[in-house]
Structure 1
Amino acid sequence: MKDKLKIKLSIADRVYPLTIDPDREEGLRKAAKKIDGLIKQFEQNYAVRDKQDVLAMCALQFASQVEQESIEKDSENTFVEDHLEKLNHLLQEKISSYK
């Protein structure tokens, strides 16, 4: 079992102590930094003062990005699958013509 690492992350002016696997530290720190940057952006652009509202907007932003990437990936997979099926069909035709 890996040794756990104790870190403190600051998000929206609050400190969150976490015990994590060391290989997750960089990702968590980057995520916390991204969240804080987005919070500042929302506060400046929309004059939102309530941290809960800003955090909800951040959560929606990140969740929508994940969902959009999933939709795009599914679309790309469908495109690739269609082309592979066409290629397979062409190969099957060529193979059967040699029999």
Structure 2
Amino acid sequence: MTERLKIKLSIADRVYPLTIDPAQEEGLRKAAKNIEQLAKQFEQNYAVRDKQDVLAMCALQFASKIEQRGIEKQEDNQEVTERLQALEALVTSKLSTL
């Protein structure tokens, strides 16, 4: 049986107790720290008083980054596919002339 770790993360002035795999700890702590930093930026740059609004803005920011990476990866994959098809066509044409 895998050992589980109990940790507490503080996000937006609330403490969240979690039971996790030890391998997840670093990622979760970094994520909580990033959320806290972004929340502070939103609070400083915008007159936002409601923590729920700040957290919603953080969620939107992080989700949009993930979506944008997915779009960019899809575009990269399409470009690679097109280059491979062109290379395959070139090789095929050269082989057919032998």
Q: TM-score scaled to structure 2, two decimals?
A: 0.97
Instruction: Note the C-alpha offset of 1:2.
Output: 1.7
Identity of aligned residues (%): 68
CA distance in 2: counterparts of 1:74 and 1:45, whole angstroms: 33
CA distance in 1: counterparts of 2:4 and 2:92, whole angstroms: 54
- Which residue number in structure 2 is paired with residue 85 of structure 1? 85
The residue type paired with residue 73 of structure 1 is K
- Which residue number in structure 2 is paired with residue 28 of structure 1? 28
Q: Deviations over 1:48-91 (max 9, x none)?
A: 01000000000000000000000000001001100000001111
1:6-17 matches, cutoff 5 A: 6-17=6-17
CA distance in 2: counterparts of 1:50 and 1:90, whole angstroms: 60
CA distance in 2: counterparts of 1:92 and 1:76, whole angstroms: 24
1:44-59 matches, cutoff 5 A: 44-59=44-59
Which 4+ residue blocks in structure 1 deviate beyond 2 angstroms? none
1:60-71 matches, cutoff 5 A: 60-71=60-71
Which sections of structure 1, spanning at least 5 residues, go unmatched? none
CA distance in 1: counterparts of 2:21 and 2:96, whole angstroms: 55
CA distance in 1: counterparts of 2:45 and 2:14, whole angstroms: 22
User: How many equivalent pairs are there?
Assistant: 98
Q: TM-score scaled to structure 1, two decimals?
A: 0.96
